[in-house]
Amino acid sequence: METPIVFAASPLDRVSHLRRDGAWLDAALSSDASRFLPFHRLNVLVKTPKTELAWANPAIRSVMDARTGAVLLGVRDGLAHFAVDLSPLHDPVAELGLAGAASFADVRQVAAALPGGDASIVAQGRQMLDWHARHRFCAVCGHATSVKEAGYLRECDECDAQHFPRTDPVVIMLVHDGERCLLGRQAGFPAKMWSALAGFVEAGETLEDAVRREVMEEAHIRVGEVRYHASQPWPFPSSLMIGCMARALDDAITVDRTELEDARWFPRDQVLRALRDPASEAGFFVPPAMAIAHHLIKAWAEA
Parts of the chain belonging to CATH 3.90.79.10: 168-302
Amino acid letter, residue 44: V
Model pLDDT, residue 246: 98
Q: Which CATH number fits domain 16-134: 3.10.450, 3.30.450, 3.30.70, 3.90.79?
A: 3.90.79
Cα angle 51-52-56, degrees, rounded to a multiple of 5? 135
Q: Report the C-alpha gap between 219 and 259 in whole angstroms.
A: 9
CATH topology classification for 168-302: Nucleoside Triphosphate Pyrophosphohydrolase (3.90.79)
Rounded to an integer, what is the distance from CA 262 to the centroid of its chain?
Answer: 26
Model pLDDT, residue 297: 98
Range list of H helices, the chain: 22-30, 92-95, 107-110, 118-134, 207-219, 268-276, 292-302
Q: Report the C-alpha gap between 161 and 163 in whole angstroms.
A: 7
Residue 22 gets which letter from DSSP? H
Model pLDDT, residue 214: 98
Q: Report the C-alpha gap between 173 and 164 in whole angstroms.
A: 28
Rounded to an integer, what is the distance from CA 66 to the centroid of its chain?
Answer: 25
Secondary-structure percent of the chain, ordered helix, strand, coil, rounded to 5: 25, 30, 40
Cα angle 295-44-107, degrees, rounded to a multiple of 5? 25
Stretch (H or E) spanning 36: strand 35-40
φ, ψ of residue 81 to 5 degrees: the values are -120, 135
Burial 248-280 (b: 16+ CB within 10 A, else e): beeeebebeeeebeebebbebebbbbbbeeeee
Contact 26, 20 (CB under 8 A): no
Model pLDDT, residue 259: 95
CA dihedral defined by 29, 33, 34, 36, rounded to 10 degrees? 110
Binned average pLDDT, 10 residues per bin, the chain of 303 residues: 84 98 98 98 95 96 97 98 97 95 96 94 98 97 98 98 98 97 96 97 98 98 98 97 98 97 97 86 89 97 94
Q: Is residue 60 exposed (0-12), middle (13-18) or buried (19+ Cβ within 10 Å)?
A: buried
Contact 197, 204 (CB under 8 A): no
pLDDT tens per residue, range 118-149: 999 999 999 999 999 999 999 999 999 999 99
Q: Report the C-alpha gap between 288 and 295 in whole angstroms.
A: 9
Closest CA to 266 of 199, 187, 174: 174
